[in-house]
Amino acid sequence: MKAALGDFTVRARSGAARRGTLTLAHGVVETPSFMPVGTAATVKTLTPHDLVELGAQIVLANTYHLWLRPGLETIAAAGGLHAFMSWERPILTDSGGFQVFSLESRRVLDDDGVRFRSHLDGSEHHFTPENVVAFQETLGVDIAMALDVCVKLPASSEEIEEAVRRTTLWAERGAAARSRPQTLLFGIIQGGLDEGARTRSARALVELDLPGYAIGGLSVGESRAEMDRMTRFAAELLPGEKPRYLMGIGTVRDLLGAIDAGIDMFDCVYPTRCGRNGRALTRGGDLNLRNAVYGRDFRPVDERCACTVCSTFSRAYLSHLFRAGEMLGPRLLSYHNLAVLLDLVAESRAAIERDEWPAFRDASLAALARETPNPT
């Protein structure tokens, strides 16, 4: 039987880790799933063909950035975001809330949304719980995110409570504004590191019976231990039959921890940002390829990696490209770094299916702990 739009099926479990399938308008996403970030309708340096080759099943784009440039009218005229960027698989867009809040002095917040000035040209804009849903439906994406209030940590309990209150109000208004069944609206729970606030946020959003839920407001300044604790706590507040998405997570260690907590989806600029800066992700930890020691190291970036970059080029060659300021360096290393995370989730799915998740997790963490050569 063909799965219906929005269906999420947990096919296997191993500990709290789960292996599922999420059916979206542009295809099925196998979870746990890592979403490469394509902020401005491009996963930086890479083509859609590269992403398919890497096994990416869904990418993330950003409503705030696309709203400002090239503008929704252009993307609508192209036939939607998929056609504009030539990506045929699912897309999730962030609402833009996170980006708007990081403007700080350039934005004013009230219960009706947020007024802000563009970081590009200072022009004024107004995002509301309703219009961000309409914008994302206009983009034609598979998953839209509700507008939320993301608070930097540490924060006072008043700030946390106010963020939870507005995030709840906005999720209700966003849900009521939906008009396109092919675009699923996910809610975002907030609450910082406060278990009570997280619980209230989750309960209110779960009442809306949205097709998926994200944990927002983590990886924003707290320690890894605090993030781990709250990820586990928040994951258990969310319905087991819906996909759980931890926003902004993207190191090997963080992915392992989040999958272990029962999270299904992740996104992060980390692999591609590192790729542009010469920092290589490997199964044994990160390497800074600009380091002189790699200038004559003719091994692949990661000896345990099967990606095209590792089977074709050496650390010495990539090191040369970065030191010479050659754009091929960022391109090759972005590709490899995504391969590491996309392979990690694929291997995690297989380990969960075999009910060998704890052993896979421990072996992967041990490899990281054992090596980490030349961290920068």
Q: Which stretch binds its own copies (CB under 8 A): 38-46, 168-176, 196-204, 235-243?
A: 38-46
Q: Does 312 bind its own copies (CB under 8 A)?
A: yes
Q: Does 41 bind its own copies (CB under 8 A)?
A: yes
State both tokens at 190: 């907030």
Report in angstroms the alpha-carbon separations of 274 from 182, 191, 267: 34, 29, 14
Q: Which of 326, 347, 356, 362 binds its own copies (CB under 8 A)?
A: 326
Report in angstroms the alpha-carbon separations of 87 from 17, 49, 130, 207, 341: 29, 8, 26, 34, 20
The interface with its own copies within residues 131-150 (CB under 8 A) comprises: none
Q: Does 313 bind its own copies (CB under 8 A)?
A: yes
* Least distance to its own copies, CB of residue 312, Å: 5
* Least distance to its own copies, CB of residue 138, Å: 16
* Least distance to its own copies, CB of residue 82, Å: 12
36 prior amide bond cis, ω within 30: no
Query: Crossing angle for the helix pair 195-207 and 157-176, nearest 10 degrees?
Result: 10
Q: Which of 11, 27, 52, 86 binds its own copies (CB under 8 A)?
A: 86
Report, in angstroms and rounded to the nearest whole number, the Rg of the chain calculated over CA atoms: 20
Indicate the residue among 77 and 369 with the shorter CB distance to its own copies. Answer: 77
The interface with its own copies within residues 272-291 (CB under 8 A) comprises: 276
* Residue in 58, 61, 92, 86 with CA at minimum distance from that of residue 345: 58
Q: Does 317 bind its own copies (CB under 8 A)?
A: yes
The interface with its own copies within residues 50-79 (CB under 8 A) comprises: 69-70, 74, 77-78
Q: Give residue 67's identity as a one-letter amino acid code.
A: W
Catalytic entry in 50, 142, 228, 267: 267
Please give the Cα distance from 89 to 360 (Å, whole number). 29
228 is catalytic: no
Q: Does 308 bind its own copies (CB under 8 A)?
A: yes
* Least distance to its own copies, CB of residue 272, Å: 10
Q: Which of 139, 193, 268, 321 binds its own copies (CB under 8 A)?
A: 321
Q: Does 330 bind its own copies (CB under 8 A)?
A: yes
* Least distance to its own copies, CB of residue 59, Å: 13
- Count residues near its own copies (CB under 8 A): 38
94 is catalytic: yes
Q: Which of 21, 42, 118, 374 binds its own copies (CB under 8 A)?
A: 42
Catalytic site positions: 94, 267
Binding site for its own copies (CB under 8 A): 40-42, 44-49, 69-70, 74, 77-78, 84-86, 276, 295-296, 298, 308, 312-314, 316-317, 319-321, 323-324, 326-328, 330-332
